[in-house]
Amino acid sequence: MKRTSAFAILLAAVFAAGPAAAQSPRPVAGLPSPPGLNVSSFVLMEQETGTILASLEPELRVEPASITKIMSAYAVFEALAAGETSMDEEAVISETAWRMQGSRTFLDLNSRVSVEDLLLGMIVQSGNDASVALAEHLAGAEEDFAVLMNSIAQRLGMTGTNFENSTGWPGENHYTTALDTAILTRAMVRDYPTLYGMHALREFTWNGIRQPNRNTLLARDATVDGVKTGHTESAGYCLVASSVRDGMRLIAVVMGAASEAQRAQDALRLLSYGFRYFETRKLLEAGADFGSARVWKGEETVVGLTVEDDVVMTLPKRASEGMETRVTVNEPLIAPLEAGQPVGRVALIRDGETLAELPLVPERAVPSGGLWQRTRDSVLLWFE
């Protein structure tokens, strides 16, 4: 069974745009405006459908700082899934990794550390030394790991991103966007849900040093289970936060806030806005009955009609009320018909706007009838 996710035909768009819109994003009719945040850019995305619920400069290229480590973690998760490494495999800590500045896990030079502990050091403590150690272990050199990161970014459709390193250390050609970061986070939750759980850990102790997760929302809101913070002087304070309430997951990306407190508060405001005003619902179910239609020149004269996909949409709450399902059949239907062959369309319409459309298909194949059946129906069709 397939699932069709109808994106924001919805709400045509992403709420807002350029700098002038920062305090007054263009609202969708009937909805309060999203929060006006004093940041470089932000995106609020729903996980299941990928719908953008609110944004500011979503495709602006910005310095990601340690938000970069979301991609570093994704690349390691991919290697684990492919059997290219394992959690208990050990990496030797090089002088390059050991000398890394900024946030650190405090790894010892030439020590052997498991991939699992390095992941925890990178994800929970944001350790630059752990990030470089993982990059060298998997790719031989950090610059080669960056090539892998960029390959994954391209595959995921992150068109405004380029990585030069695994840590987020500032570089002239090291950049991403709020939209790309949301796309990456969504992919991680979808592709590696169990490993993603490491982002919910509130602390990690290594070398006798206990360090808390820099994502303070983990302690403030029990529904938040990730994801990553970032900060450099040039990037400002960045945060990717994800939360699940009533079965719906939202991802909030905040780039370029003025302080640690502001980035946390802004992410919470975005999440609260999304959960208050939106819902994700299944509007059509694969296999739903859409009646039947006459079949000409076939072994059978009638066939049932259905759809093969679910339609799941994220919409403003109560927006699905009054929605009309419109069915169009491409008559006459002439055998042979294959199962799954499009024979019409099913459209979901509200207030004259088509929100989603998908093929109408026969429930089963209908082979051609015999010579007599085909001849008779050919004559009858002249009078239709």
Any bridge partners for residue 134, and if so which? none
- Tell me, rounded to whole angstroms, the distance of Cα 339 from its chain centroid: 32
The residues pairing with 254 across neighbouring beta strands, listed in sequence order, are: 42, 239
User: Residue 269: in which H helix or E strand, if any?
Assistant: helix 260-277
Q: Is 45 helix (H, G, I), strand (E, B) or coil?
A: strand
Can 69 be counted among the known catalytic residues?
A: yes
Please check whether residue 54 is in contact with residue 16, taking contact to mean a CB–CB distance below 8 angstroms.
yes
126 in active site: yes
Catalytic residue, from 69, 94, 131, 228: name it. 69
Instruction: Indicate which residue of 40, 41, 55, 66 is catalytic.
Output: 66
Are 153 and 12 in contact by the 8 Å Cβ rule? The answer is no
Q: How many whole angstroms separate alpha carbon 248 and alpha carbon 274?
A: 10
Which is nearest to 134 in space by CA: 197, 87, 180? 87
For residue 139, how many other CB atoms are within 10 A of its CB? 18
How far is residue 129 CA from its own chain's centroid? 28
Alpha carbons 59 and 44: distance in angstroms, whole number: 13
- The residue count of the chain comes to 384
Ranges of H-type helices in 41-106: 69-81, 95-98
Within 1-141, where are the H helices? 69-81, 95-98, 115-123, 128-139
Is 228 assigned a catalytic role? no
Burial zone of 374 (CB within 10 Å; 0-12 exposed, 13-18 middle, 19+ buried) = middle
Q: Residue 345 has which token pair?
A: 């369309």
Contact 51, 314 (CB under 8 A): yes
Task: Choose the catalytic residue: 55, 126, 131, 242.
Answer: 126
Return the ∠ at Cα 33 (arms to 32 and 38), rounded to 5°: 145
Instruction: Please identify every residue annotated as catalytic.
Output: 66, 69, 126
